[in-house]
Amino acid sequence: MIRIGIFGYGNLGRGVEAAIKQNDDMELVAVFSRRDPSTVKINTEGVTVCHVDEVASYKDKIDVMILCGGSATDLPVQTPQMAKHFNVIDSFDTHARIPEHFAAVDKEAKASGKVAVISVGWDPGMFSLNRLYGEAILPEGSSYTFWGKGVSQGHSDAIRRIDGVIDARQYTIPVPEALDKVRSGQNPELTTRQKHTRECFVVAEEGADLARIENEIKTMPNYFADYDTTVNFISMQELQRDHSGIPHGGFVIRSGKTGNGNSHIIEYSLKLDSNPEFTSSVLVAYARAAYRLNSEGAKGCKSVLDIAPSYLSSKSAEQLRKELL
């Protein structure tokens, strides 16, 4: 049995807990939280909840620690720190800061002799893999990543910070015509506005100036100004009834040519009911890989790009060749 620890118990931590139950070769040993452990109720009977300060005492009781904090402030500190004691997995998703995060984690993991896998999930993660495979197989071509339809947490938060807004949900939606053009092999150059639209559902305070709120959203730099954005004002009841899920997904498409102008389209797509639960499922599969790699003597920081697919499966190499190849 691979002994797993969960570090941070929000949506992602709960998703990891659920995913562990779907994998017969794994067991959850402990959940670590910054909150008072007596106030944290988890969904697995007989498993301890500990304060994060106790984590060092679990050094020999946990094979892989899955870090479930956020990329902004948690993981840049926690992943290198935890890599001193454990094999670790994180879902660090600030694309621009991946090189520095990698360097910080690699240093600690090499020193401790542990394996760390960073930026695991679907983007970065499965989408990155598909960008790499696509580019390597069809070197003469173009790659496209579309996100959605799905809830963007960051954009929803940005709307919530506007004066007069009680709550909000923002959906990122790929433009169907852009997808069609890419799939047709035309290798179009697409602007930000041509690739995605943004749809917002906003609950405003009674008597708030809706026109002002709508204008503040649509003109918000970085978040909305470069997109065609639709704003819908709805009641709190409607928000809770129709927009409580956290679906997401998207498409990675490689369009390339070979020989005398033969076109090929490789398309990878995800349609996810729950963004955090799917991300968690990927984290858990890579926890198995980290454990096995470390058992073979590997150490240091890796990404999904560095790990052979067979390490993700509990099946033997023989079984994989027979059943899946």
DSSP string, 22-83: T-TTEEEEEEEESS-GGG---SSTT-EEEEGGGGGGGTTT-SEEEE-S-TTTHHHHHHHHHT
Q: Give the whole-angstrom CA distance, residue 71 versus residue 119.
A: 10
Sign of the torsion formed by the C-alpha atoms of 56, 61, 62 and 68: negative
Rounded (5°) CA angle 269-273-277: 95
Taking the complex as a whole, the smallest distance from the CB of residue 166 to a second copy amounts, in Å, to: 27
**Exactly one of 29, 285, 287, 290 binds a second copy (CB under 8 A); which one?**
285
Helix (H/G/I), strand (E/B), else coil: 211: helix
Which structure tokens are listed for 190? 């697409």
Nearest residue to 154 (alpha-carbon basis) of 135, 178, 171 = 171
Please give the size of the binding site for a second copy, defined by CB under 8 A: 65
Q: Give the whole-angstrom CA distance, residue 195 versus residue 189.
A: 10
Residue number, 241 or 321, with CB nearest to a second copy? 321
Residue number, 268 or 291, with CB nearest to a second copy? 268
Stretch that binds a second copy, among 199-207, 208-216, 221-229, 279-287 (CB under 8 A): 279-287
> Could you tell me whether strands 150-151 and 165-174 are parallel, antiparallel, or unpaired per DSSP bridges?
antiparallel
With a CB cutoff of 8 Å and minimum separation 6, the contacts of 95 are: 124
Residue number, 42 or 126, with CB nearest to a second copy? 126
Residue 210's φ and ψ, nearest 5 degrees, are -65, -35
274 binds a second copy (CB under 8 A): yes
With a CB cutoff of 8 Å and minimum separation 6, the contacts of 192 are: 226, 227
**Exactly one of 186, 232, 273, 295 binds a second copy (CB under 8 A); which one?**
273
Stretch that binds a second copy, among 152-160, 196-204, 235-243, 262-270 (CB under 8 A): 262-270
Q: From residue 1 to residue 40, what is the string marking binding to a second copy with x (rule CB under 8 A)?
A: -------------xx--xx--xx-----------------
312 binds a second copy (CB under 8 A): yes
Q: From residue 288 to residue 307, what is the string marking binding to a second copy with x (rule CB under 8 A)?
A: x--------------xxxxx
**Exactly one of 1, 136, 221, 237 binds a second copy (CB under 8 A); which one?**
136
Q: From residue 112 to residue 131, what is the string marking binding to a second copy with x (rule CB under 8 A)?
A: -------x----x-x-xxxx
Q: Give the whole-angstrom CA distance, residue 210 versus residue 184.
A: 41
Residue number, 133 or 233, with CB nearest to a second copy? 133
Residue number, 6 or 159, with CB nearest to a second copy? 6
Taking the complex as a whole, the smallest distance from the CB of residue 45 to a second copy amounts, in Å, to: 17
**Exactly one of 174, 280, 291, 298 binds a second copy (CB under 8 A); which one?**
280
**Exactly one of 138, 159, 217, 220 binds a second copy (CB under 8 A); which one?**
138
262 binds a second copy (CB under 8 A): yes
Residue number, 159 or 307, with CB nearest to a second copy? 307
> Could you tell me whether strands 115-117 and 87-89 are parallel, antiparallel, or unpaired per DSSP bridges?
parallel
**Exactly one of 154, 207, 221, 259 binds a second copy (CB under 8 A); which one?**
259
CB 75 within 8 A of CB 51: no
Helix (H/G/I), strand (E/B), else coil: 142: strand
Q: Give the whole-angstrom CA distance, residue 140 versus residue 158.
A: 39
Tell me which residues touch a second copy (CB under 8 A): 14-15, 18-19, 22-23, 95, 98-99, 102, 119, 124, 126, 128-133, 135-140, 183, 258-259, 262-274, 277-278, 280-282, 285, 288, 303-310, 312-313, 317-318, 320-322, 324-325
